[in-house]
Amino acid sequence: MRARIALVGLIVLAVAAAGCGAGGDTPSILDKDELVIGVKPDQPGLGLKKRNGVYEGFDVDVAKEVVKRLPGQRRRVRFVDAPSSERERLLRERKVDLVVASYSITPKRKTMVGFAGPYYVAHQDILVRQNVTGITNVRDLRGRVLCNVEGSNSVARVVEELEIAANLVPAASYSECIEKLKTGSVEAVSTDDLILAGFAAAEAGRFKFVNRPFTDERYGIGIHQDDIDGCEAVNKAITQMYQEGTAKTLLDRWFGKTDLSYTTTVPEFEGCG
């Protein structure tokens, strides 16, 4: 009988230990001394990895400001590359704690990862060369030569959702699109305005915005789905950034030299959980 009791006790302890282990594998960002944050490495103005390995841009600064405002101890921050195709995997495999990488909140993505924010509501717009005329809104892209980035939803919104028959020229990335815009291989590039603004700022005076947005792109901070406390803390930090004027300062720093019309009021949050 004692042997059976001892055996049952060992089983109970093993189950309890397994449960603790599972909980230990899913800590909140609030429990960590260092946070690994995924950002874009190739988007000027948003997330750009310099030759010395240092990341810079609006998203990078937003991430730093959010972490600085989280409750508890001071935390170290380490940035890593988070290309668009890798963002969900990085979060789900816990390679990163947060993703701040022009990451639009969509119903499909919300089934895979959690989101805090949004920290900014971008809008799809159009960038053209300074000397181009006749493109004043998205309808004017009919018959024009438009750059089409593989895997991007932006052109699909133009040619499929709005049924505007533009002539598409393929490209592997928006940086390639910008090169094609420089040389005249395409007449326009259309995607999120902050992405376009970053490239415009890097090529001061060469391009201009149409400034006729036609979508809402709610940029969220990707987080693990089970970290509700962390998500709510990030939302509070974003609110503080706007209330203190820090968000406006960052927008002015990275996009103030372009003709982009950007907003400086706190966005309406999606809610956590």
- Strand-pair category, 217-223 with 114-122: antiparallel
Mean pLDDT of 91-109: 93
**Res. 35 pLDDT band, cuts 50 70 90:** very high
Please give the residue that has the higher pLDDT: either 6 or 180: 180
Domain with CATH 3.40.190.10 in the chain: 29-121+218-255, 124-209
The residue-averaged pLDDT of 127-156 equals 91
Question: Average per-residue pLDDT in the chain?
Answer: 88
For residues 14 and 144, the model is more confident at 144
Question: Which residue pairs from 102-107 have beta carbons closer than 8 angstroms and sit at least 24 positions apart in sequence?
Answer: 102/40, 102/43, 102/46, 102/47, 102/59, 102/192, 102/194, 102/195, 102/219, 103/219, 103/220, 103/221, 103/222, 104/192, 104/217, 104/218, 104/219, 104/220, 105/218, 105/219, 105/220, 105/270
Burial class (CB in 10 A: 0-12, 13-18, 19+), 117: buried
Superfamily of domain 124-209: Periplasmic binding protein-like II (3.40.190.10)
Please state the rounded mean pLDDT for residues 104-113.
Answer: 90
**Structure confidence at residue 151 (pLDDT):** 62
Mean pLDDT (whole number) for 38-51: 93
Query: Rounded to 5 degrees, what angle do the CA atoms 154, 159, 163 make?
Result: 135
Considering the chain, what percentage of its residues have pLDDT values greater than 90? 65
Q: Read off the pLDDT of residues 197-231 as tens digits, 9 standing for 90 and up.
A: 888 888 878 998 888 999 888 999 999 999 999 99
pLDDT tens-digit map of 54-98: 999 999 999 999 999 999 989 999 999 998 888 999 999 999 999
Fold observed for domain 29-121+218-255: D-Maltodextrin-Binding Protein; domain 2 (3.40.190)
Q: Which residues contact 144 (CB under 8 A, 6 or more apart)?
A: 135, 166, 167, 187, 188
Residue 97's nearest CA partner among 240, 229, 230 is: 230
Name the pTM for this structure.
Answer: 0.80
With cut-offs at 50, 70 and 90, classify the pLDDT of residue 187: very high
